């Protein structure tokens, strides 16, 4: 198989990860088209040892494209995806544009492969926080019915894209040098600080990120009535998100030993749970690799029906680009 592949948003933080993943996973790219905004036209990115020029993404960019990966935000996805579908491409969208559309699969291949059908030409990649959460807890569903999730997130700058990563780096340099911090679009200092996730707050008091995690987790797990409470916080970490999770079951919680056993066998999960050496998931360990690290597995001493754990995963990889490439591999295998 050889494919003509397009990346929309090629110059962004997630776009750059696709190029490395194509090489690492031997994704069958025969021709690569890098698409971005008008401002990026003329830039070159390296793929397979060769420079590839960036072109402007327009509705006429998709003729002859077999697979189009979108990572340029919801507005651009809504504008351009109809043209990509009309041109016959398989479209995998990292934005929120179509995630809650009942006709569009919201896919994490390790968790809900049954959501995809061969007739699906548009597939959504879930919110990064929801992906990591679902990969981490999915195998535990074999041990009992989940009734409620209580989730706290510690989200890195990578979730806000290349610009936010740059902001954190520049603020940190300035703070350590004792100079004025650079201008910021955030309402808070980022270096050596943490704050509620920088998305709008709804009438119910939940921000947009928290709402996405709640809605998308229910859709991915096929549990529309699952009770979920989420608090999303931005922390001064460059890359990879961390989450703490308490899972309340319908009856008594499974034993820690049983939970560790199923987690150790779960696809996409690496158990990091060493109490003796106090070694548990960290964003540094999670960065640059595709597994979701899971540890701190323990009984909730306040509730015999609950189990708690901690997870960390690379937001740019399993939370975005890697999940998208895995979807393409899965879809093309079934096509």
Is the Cα torsion angle 135, 240, 332, 84 positive or negative in sign?
positive
For 46, residues 6+ apart whose C-beta sits below 8 A from its C-beta are 19, 52
Element (H, E) at 147: strand 146-155
Count of CB atoms situated within 10 Å of the CB of 297: 20
Element (H, E) at 248: strand 241-249
Q: What whole-number distance in Å separates Cα of residue 34 and Cα of residue 16?
A: 10
Task: Cite the active site residues.
Answer: 128, 241
For 4, residues 6+ apart whose C-beta sits below 8 A from its C-beta are 30, 31, 32, 33, 64, 65, 66, 67
């Amino acid at each position: 198989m050889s494919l003509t592949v397009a990346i929309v948003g090629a110059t962004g933080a997630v776009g750059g990860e696709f190029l490395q993943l194509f090489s690492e996973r031997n994704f069958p790219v025969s021709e690569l088209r890098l698409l971005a905004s008008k401002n990026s036209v003329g830039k070159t990115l390296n793929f397979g040892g060769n420079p590839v020029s960036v072109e402007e993404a327009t509705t006429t960019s998709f003729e002859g494209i077999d697979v189009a990966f979108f990572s340029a935000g919801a507005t651009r996805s809504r504008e351009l995806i109809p043209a990509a579908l009309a041109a016959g491409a398989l479209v995998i969208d990292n934005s929120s544009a179509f995630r809650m559309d009942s006709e569009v699969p919201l896919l994490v291949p390790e968790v809900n492969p049954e959501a995809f059908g061969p007739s699906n030409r548009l597939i959504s990649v879930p919110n990064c926080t929801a992906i990591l959460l679902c990969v981490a807890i999915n195998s535990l569903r074999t041990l009992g019915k989940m009734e409620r999730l209580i989730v706290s997130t510690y989200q890195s700058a990578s979730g806000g894209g290349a610009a936010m990563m740059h902001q954190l780096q520049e603020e940190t340099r300035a703070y350590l040098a004792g100079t004025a911090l650079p201008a910021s679009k955030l309402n808070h200092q980022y270096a050596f600080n943490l704050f509620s996730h920088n998305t709008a707050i709804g009438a119910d008091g939940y921000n947009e990120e928290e709402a996405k995690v709640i809605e998308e987790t229910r859709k991915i797990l096929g549990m529309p009535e699952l009770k979920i409470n989420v608090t999303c916080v931005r922390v001064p970490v460059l890359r990879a998100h961390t989450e703490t999770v308490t899972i309340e079951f319908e009856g008594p919680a499974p034993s820690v030993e049983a939970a560790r056993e199923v987690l150790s066998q779960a696809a996409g999960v690496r158990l990091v749970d060493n109490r003796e050496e106090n070694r548990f998931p960290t964003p540094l360990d999670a960065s640059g690799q595709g597994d979701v690290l899971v540890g701190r597995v323990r009984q909730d001493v306040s509730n015999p029906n609950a189990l708690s754990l901690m997870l960390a995963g690379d937001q740019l990889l399993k939370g975005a680009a890697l999940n998208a490439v895995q979807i393409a591999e899965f879809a093309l295998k079934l096509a």
